[in-house]
Amino acid sequence: MEHNWKADELLPYRLGGLLYTPALNGGMARKIKERVYPCLTSVAFCLEDSIQDAALPLAEQTLVRTLEALAGTADLPLLFVRVRSPRHLERVHHLLGGLEELLTGYILPKFDLSNGGEYARLIKAFNESRTSAPLYIMPTLESGMIAEPGSRTSMLLRVKRILDSVRGCVLNVRVGGNDFCNLYGLRRSIHQSIYDIGVIRDILVDILQVFSADYVVSGPVWEYFGLDPAGPWAEGLRREVELDRLNGFIGKSAVHPAQLPIIFQGMQVSQEDYEDAQSILGWTADDYGVAKSAGGSRMNEVKCHAKWAGHICKLAQIYGVSPG
């Protein structure tokens, strides 16, 4: 039994590797149009940390020119703009005007109680005046307010209530692994994963516990890259993507196009997982709620594994089944 999901159900899964590029990058429009980068599924034009304050006006104008160059292009990747603050979001919204129709949405950095309510108010207002597809937001959890251990769970629950108030506009929840590392002066090596840093792992697990039941949550950036797809940087990325998937993250931020094929492959599902997921979602047994897997090596329970099966089938529909 094949499962064909509605477009809006698949959209949060389609981001794959979200490639961040400074909005000052004037050559990005050509590269997108000419499909220079394999496995490019989504792009974030960054106006925040990658842009010095004095260069912000130039970056905004470059962003306008980039979107103008992309207008009318078929089969664009999902496009996002990373802003700095609610006030900046409002300014960029007015600056882009009709070009905003090219965007899937905005990325909201350091989203917490200090700015979440205003961000929610703005995205509601933006969408009330739209007649086309919704304009989405992707809040990034990365601030010290989020990391604070004594109040973390209650803080995350309060942030979730803000997002729940605009749930139809929330495409994805993202995490800032490097920002959390910076709070403690930490950095993983090319041979380590983010999960080897205990204090950061605990923050990520708490975020997943609060959000992943209701939202797609994407994994933190891997900061190493290179030209050799078999090099240590690539092996480290493959290992971390595998751990991301195991822990509940779907998709990953990317800082270099060389990372994109590895992230894309990491989103593919195994043949056994796909067959089991299809079996669980198409369960026909009247009495039994358990059955052996397609490979005969594990037990499937329809009541316990239905949500997992939904994730697997959505990923398979977008990224395919791994040939290995």
- For the stretch 66-125, pLDDT in tens is 999 999 999 999 999 999 999 999 999 999 999 999 999 999 999 999 999 999 999 999
- Per-residue pLDDT, averaged over 278-304, amounts to 73
The answer to whether residues 257 and 292 belong to one domain is no
> How far apart, in whole angstroms, are the C-alpha atoms of residue 244 and residue 51?
28
pLDDT for the residue 290: 62
Give the tens place of pLDDT for each residue, 49-72.
Answer: 999 999 999 999 999 999 999 999
Query: Contact at 8 Å (CB) between 99 and 71?
Result: yes
The answer to whether residues 21 and 141 belong to one domain is yes
pLDDT for the residue 1: 47
Domain end (from 267, 285, 310): 267
The answer to whether residues 315 and 245 belong to one domain is no
> Domain range for residue 29?
7-267
Give the predicted TM-score (pTM) of the model.
0.94
The answer to whether residues 196 and 307 belong to one domain is no
> How far apart, in whole angstroms, are the C-alpha atoms of residue 35 and residue 37?
6
> How far apart, in whole angstroms, are the C-alpha atoms of residue 279 and residue 1?
8
Sign of CA dihedral 128, 129, 133, 134: negative
Other CB atoms within a 10 A radius of the CB of residue 197 amount to 19
Total number of domains in the chain: 2
The answer to whether residues 163 and 287 belong to one domain is no
Give the tens place of pLDDT for each residue, 199-245.
Answer: 999 999 999 999 999 999 999 999 999 999 999 999 999 999 999 99
Give the N- to C-terminal CA distance of the chain in Å, as an integer: 23
The answer to whether residues 141 and 36 belong to one domain is yes
